[in-house]
Amino acid sequence: MPEGHVYVTRPMSPKVMQQAGELPIPLTVHADPDLPPAREQLLEDCRGATAIITMLTEKIDDKVMEAAGPGLKVIANVAVGYDNIDVEAAARRGIIVTNTPGVLDEATADLAFALILATVRRVAEADRFIRTARPWIWGPQSFIGLDVSAGATLGIVGLGRTGMAVARRANAFRMNIIATGSRASTPEAAELGVQPCNLDTLLRTSDVVSLHCPLTATNRHLIGAQQLAAMKAGSYLINTARGPLVDEEALADAVESGHLAGAGLDVHEFEPRVNNRLRSLENVVLLPHIGSAAAATRDSMGELAVRNVAAVLSGQAALTPVLPAGLKPDLLPTRG
């Protein structure tokens, strides 16, 4: 690999790649558009890199940073979540880490609400039924689901930017909305009718629980057997955040037992591997992590990552830096 290159771990759209190609140092791109680089390939390809533009599928840890060498200045993640990057290791090495907040909130919220409706109104299940070509006739008890606009309560776990966008959609459907997180007590949330509450209350009273919090070192299995048991009987769990927030074996137990009426997952605990028990359940909707998979949104994510790299390479502050726990913005490393 050439010294002083920008390594892109997955090719993005032609528009984004053209902009990346205008960066002031050479571009090296992993060739396979469908699969991430294998671990050894990743370590080899990033050698001598000044910048790494990466996706959530690549684990960028201390070993990768060591392989890149002392010239590595910035790691730009094309995602909001950055649990795939060892941020503390980057800070120790003076490497700036960036993400792409703000530009995918609406697309992810669209997908989250689509998943809510597909799950509670049994859309995917009914579609599969029709495709069997079995004879059928309309029936008064066929495919009965939840009336979201008839007083149903949506519980949003983690009312951040995406959670607020989901709340706007739920408000349009006249749902009751409760939420956890500091933003649940803001005037903006109050205008949407959001009622702040703790997680225990949210689980106990929601008809639909939707997860929108980041994955951290302390909240893996935030929703485990105990939390699922605390959920309202006949309710639904939706996850468009990160898979490991949910103990999927416990979720399968809760759905199989009938305690939960169903679940909708865009993300998976051991992604890309999907839990076989959940896969077998008709009342579980499973998607392949497509929350931000809208053309303009993916372009905006890639463009923001490229702009972050350009800023750091020119000696300016990153546009959207990720802060390690306990690090103040004025203590961020600067690299000329």
Order the strands of the 176-179 sheet from edge to edge.
194-196, 176-179, 153-157, 208-211, 235-239, 260-265, 284-286
Q: Compute the distance between CA of residue 1 and CA of residue 17 in angstroms, rounded to an integer.
A: 19
Q: Compute the distance between CA of residue 130 and CA of residue 119 in angstroms, rounded to an integer.
A: 16
The model's pLDDT over 118-176, given as tens digits with 9 standing for 90+, comes to 999 999 999 999 999 999 999 999 999 999 999 999 999 999 999 999 999 999 999 99
Q: Is 46 exposed, middle or buried (0-12, 13-18, 19+ CB in 10 A)?
A: buried
pLDDT-based confidence at residue 1 (cuts at 50, 70, 90): low
Domain boundary assignment for the chain: 5-103+295-331, 105-286
Residue 245 pLDDT > 60, yes or no?
A: yes
Q: Residue 335: what pLDDT?
A: 37
Top CATH class, 105-286: alpha beta
H/E run at residue 263: strand 260-265
Other beta carbons within 10 Å of 113: 22
Tell me the catalytic residues.
242, 271, 289
**Over pLDDT 70: what percentage of the chain?**
96
Fold exhibited by the domain 5-103+295-331: Rossmann fold (3.40.50)
